[in-house]
Amino acid sequence: MGALYTHYDDQRLKVPRFLEAVYYLATPSSDTLPLAANKMLMNLKLRTNIADADPYFHPILSAWISENSFNVKKRALTAATYNVIVQIGSLIGSQIYRADDAPYYYRGNKVLISICALSLVVMLGQRWWLMLLNKRKEKVWGRMDEEERLIYQEQIAEREKDGNKRLEFRFRF
């Protein structure tokens, strides 16, 4: 495994070699810099860009909410509710790491780990619930014959009224 990683013991950084290759290909001036400057530039690049390049989750969640909302009214309400919850979370999140908990932030870390565990439980529960709703709809849909399905799908006024409660609507998870 040592051949896959480069160890920078002075900075306690373990860097995969393929990231070094990406960095050197992306930086044409790396050949002209001395070795010490290359290490410093590599560390800076890894710590600022690659370490912080996690996907931003708001567009993903907004798309998921939009996908599972059948009509425009529900989509607008759920998007507004989601936005309010995000703003409240930002206010609460700024109070997690406090000065009286420094320098190790035991309380702040416990709070964040608890929030992550609760989020995981809620996510798994939501997934289970959506799968259960899809199975119930599929069971009723499967009992209908082809003619009943066509009649059911032609009811445009009922389609707009029922929204995501319709039998042919499937939740994405």
User: Are 112 and 148 part of one and the same domain?
Assistant: yes
User: Are 105 and 142 part of one and the same domain?
Assistant: yes
Count of structural domains, the chain:
2
User: How high is the mean pLDDT of the chain?
Assistant: 76
Tokens of 166: 């319709």
Identify the domain containing residue 30 by its residue range: 5-50
Half-sphere exposure of 83 (CA within 13 A, CB side): 7
Q: Is residue 85 part of a domain?
A: yes
Q: Using one digit for the tens of pLDDT, what is the confidence trace for 58-94?
A: 787 888 888 888 778 888 898 899 999 989 988 988 8
Q: Is residue 105 part of a domain?
A: yes
Contacts for 137 with CB less than 8 Å, ≥ 6 apart: 167, 168, 169, 170
The whole-model pTM stands at 0.58
* pLDDT tier, 8 (very low <50, low <70, confident <90, very high otherwise): very low
Query: Could you tell me if 50 and 72 are in contact, meaning their C-beta atoms sit under 8 angstroms apart?
Result: no
Query: Could you tell me if 2 and 37 are in contact, meaning their C-beta atoms sit under 8 angstroms apart?
Result: no
User: Are 109 and 81 part of one and the same domain?
Assistant: yes
